[in-house]
């Protein structure tokens, strides 16, 4: 099957979050299974800074945006370690900028124009680059106009009349909502600017547009697919989502086990390990991490870690409150790695200064250190307010680092709480809690600390997590089924229209 991935991010070209990981990994997994994925994304400055070979195709195009015509050209590259072609839409006025979507905390004012241009360019590429596309897999709001173009402006034009669309919601909170007069930029008839289709509380919404016009919709975990059907996680779109409930699916993201595997992780040096030698392997990684972070090398003390964007959504307010109390009362060690909201930079720095033997905070992004933390920590904390899928809990399971998570979204789908029943059934892999409070997190960490002292049970949790298969191959097979189902339904509807 020929699948076109329309996305704003794909590792290693450009990334701000999990979207980039998915669109850099899923196409590779599909190709290994014999399918023919192609990626198209904007030629952001970040893509050129990635150091990959990018060549011109010699093919130019024009896009109509309101009353003007804007020219661009297609560049070509390839997803590393694969034969997956990557096409980049070059338009320096739109994409040669410091960041992808915003700068200095403010969204670029012409984001609607930038991504309306991208959506039209992606569709023109199907013909101009002879892609023979059967399904366009659209990702998040930046590609949200593509399904609408196919069902309106291009609905009777071959080959577009035979193309199906799958729309993946990675995070419903980021919707691409714009001033209503920006509707004029899209070329789509104003009659579609109504409360059932493209209008959202007086604005033009790329996210709502995609939900309405796509042939099928999915999110990145089954639980998140259910959560977004009602407030608060529906973010105001519950009506549109409930109307499409029969076409809404949840498929868990996979983990890139080529890069996240303790048995072959280059960042672990001589301390690589697998499930057969996990005890000495993790002990060595823990000692090395403690030395690197300036913490006392104490194997008997639980080492708790959290890595990611320091933001309310990720539950760092709960982490800060528990850490502040535990740092002076409990004999545990903490490591925090990440950047984000300034208030968290201040509070975590302050705690680290007050408790240098128990707390280490690194306010930076370091892929290398993130790998060593996954290998060296005993527990990994993800007390998120919401988490569409989450990847770090999957990495933690693979590395034998027991996850402590709030039961939401993909975290609920991947971590089984440890209690007497799940221990007896031999299905426990971590620790979960439901209520979003610091007390609930503290009580769960208390439970985890008690089990940590019970080495045979703790080893069972580690072994069970490491043996699970969260690879992209499993997810890719589910996507193939959904592509085929979507294409069949779309062609049947086109035939009967």
User: What average pLDDT does range 185-192 have in this prediction?
Assistant: 97
User: What average pLDDT does range 63-89 have in this prediction?
Assistant: 96
Look up the pTM and report it. Answer: 0.93
Position 104 confidence tier, pLDDT thresholds 50, 70, 90:
confident
User: What average pLDDT does range 114-122 have in this prediction?
Assistant: 98
Round to whole Å and give the CA distance between 391 and 331. Answer: 28
Architecture of domain 2-254+473-496: 3-Layer(aba) Sandwich (3.40)
Mean pLDDT of the chain: 96
Round to whole Å and give the CA distance between 405 and 426. Answer: 19
pLDDT tens digit sequence for 349-370: 999 999 999 999 999 988 899 9
Round to whole Å and give the CA distance between 461 and 459. Answer: 5
| C-alpha separations of 197 from 45, 149, 213, 339 in Å | 33, 13, 8, 38
pLDDT tens digit sequence for 5-21: 999 999 999 988 889 99
Q: What is the pLDDT of residue 493?
A: 75
User: What average pLDDT does range 313-326 have in this prediction?
Assistant: 96
Q: What is the pLDDT of residue 17?
A: 81
Residues 414-420: contacts with CB within 8 Å, 24+ apart? 414/221, 414/252, 414/390, 414/470, 418/447, 418/448, 418/451, 418/457, 418/461
Architecture of domain 266-469: 3-Layer(aba) Sandwich (3.40)
Helix/strand/coil for 177: strand
Domains 2-254+473-496 and 266-469 fall in the same CATH topology: yes
Q: Is the peptide bond preceding residue 198 cis, with omega within 30 degrees of 0?
A: no
Q: Which two tokens stand for residue 176?
A: 């691409």
Q: Which two tokens stand for residue 140?
A: 């998040």
- Spatial CA neighbour of 4 closest among 174, 159, 179, 186: 159
User: What average pLDDT does range 323-335 have in this prediction?
Assistant: 94
pLDDT at 497 over 80: no
* Residue labelled with tokens 């059932």: 196
Position 495 confidence tier, pLDDT thresholds 50, 70, 90:
low
pLDDT tens digit sequence for 293-315: 999 999 999 999 999 989 999 99
DSSP 398: H
* Gyration radius of the chain's alpha carbons: 23
Q: What is the pLDDT of residue 494?
A: 67
Q: What is the pLDDT of residue 105?
A: 80
User: What average pLDDT does range 431-442 have in this prediction?
Assistant: 97
Could you tell me how far CA 322 lies from the centroid of its own chain? 27
- For 307-327, what is the HEC assignment? ECCECHHHCHHHHHHHHHHHH
The answer to whether 384 and 313 are in contact (CB under 8 A) is: yes
The answer to whether 353 and 266 are in contact (CB under 8 A) is: no
Alpha carbons within 13 angstroms on the beta-carbon side of residue 175 total 20
Helix/strand/coil for 60: strand
Q: What is the pLDDT of residue 491?
A: 79
Q: What is the pLDDT of residue 16?
A: 86
User: What average pLDDT does range 445-470 have in this prediction?
Assistant: 96
Q: Are strands 177-178 and 164-169 parallel, antiparallel or unpaired?
A: unpaired
- Where are the chain's structural domains? 2-254+473-496, 266-469
pLDDT tens digit sequence for 218-245: 999 999 999 999 999 999 999 999 999 9
Sheet of 199-200: strands edge to edge? Answer: 177-178, 203-205, 199-200
Report the phi/psi class of residue 422: left, alpha or beta, with left for phi > 0 and alpha for psi in -120 to 50: alpha
């Amino acid at each position: 099957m020929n699948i076109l991935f329309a996305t704003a991010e794909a590792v290693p070209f450009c990334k701000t979050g999990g979207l980039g990981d998915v669109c850099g990994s899923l196409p590779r997994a599909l190709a290994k299974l014999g399918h023919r994925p192609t990626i198209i994304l904007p030629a952001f400055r970040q893509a050129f800074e990635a150091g990959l070979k990018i060549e011109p195709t010699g093919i130019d195009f024009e896009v109509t945006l309101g009353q003007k015509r804007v020219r661009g050209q297609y560049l070509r590259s390839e997803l590393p370690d694969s034969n997956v072609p990557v096409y980049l839409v070059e338009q320096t006025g739109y994409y040669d900028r410091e960041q992808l979507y915003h700068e200095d905390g403010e969204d670029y004012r012409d984001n609607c124009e930038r991504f309306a241009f991208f959506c039209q360019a992606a569709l023109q590429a199907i013909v101009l680059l002879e892609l023979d596309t059967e399904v366009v897999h659209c990702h998040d709001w930046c590609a949200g106009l593509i399904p609408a173009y196919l069902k309106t402006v291009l609905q009777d034009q071959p080959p577009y009349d035979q193309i199906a669309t799958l729309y993946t919601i990675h995070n419903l909170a980021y919707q691409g909502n714009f001033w209503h007069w920006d509707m004029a930029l899209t070329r789509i008839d104003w009659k579609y600017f109504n409360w059932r289709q493209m209008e959202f509380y007086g604005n033009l919404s790329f996210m709502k547009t995609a939900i309405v016009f796509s042939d099928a919709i999915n999110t990145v975990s089954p639980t998140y697919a259910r959560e977004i059907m009602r407030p608060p996680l529906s973010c105001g779109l519950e009506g549109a989502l409930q109307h499409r409930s029969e076409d809404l699916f949840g498929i868990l993201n996979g983990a890139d086990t080529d890069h996240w595997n303790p048995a072959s992780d280059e960042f672990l040096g001589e301390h690589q390990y697998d499930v057969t030698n996990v005890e000495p392997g993790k002990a060595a990684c823990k000692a090395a991490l403690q030395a690197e972070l300036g913490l006392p090398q104490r194997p008997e003390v639980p080492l708790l870690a959290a890595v990611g964007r320091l933001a309310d959504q990720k539950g760092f307010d709960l982490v800060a409150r528990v850490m502040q109390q535990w740092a002076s009362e409990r004999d545990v060690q903490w490591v925090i790695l990440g950047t984000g909201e300034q208030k968290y930079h201040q509070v975590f720095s302050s705690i680290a200064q007050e408790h240098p033997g128990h707390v280490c905070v690194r306010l930076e992004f370091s892929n290398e250190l993130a790998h060593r933390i996954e290998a060296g920590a005993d527990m990994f904390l993800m007390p998120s307010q919401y988490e569409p899928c989450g990847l770090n809990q999957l990495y933690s399971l693979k590395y034998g680092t027991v996850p402590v998570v709030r039961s939401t979204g993909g975290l609920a789908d991947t971590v089984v709480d440890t209690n007497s029943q799940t221990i007896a059934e031999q299905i426990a892999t971590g620790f979960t809690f439901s209520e979003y409070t610091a007390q609930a997190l503290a009580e769960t960490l208390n439970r985890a600390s008690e089990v940590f002292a019970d080495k045979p049970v703790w080893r069972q949790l580690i072994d069970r997590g490491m043996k699970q298969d969260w690879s992209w191959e499993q997810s890719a097979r589910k996507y193939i089924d959904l592509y085929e189902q979507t294409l069949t339904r779309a062609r049947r509807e086109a035939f009967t229209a």
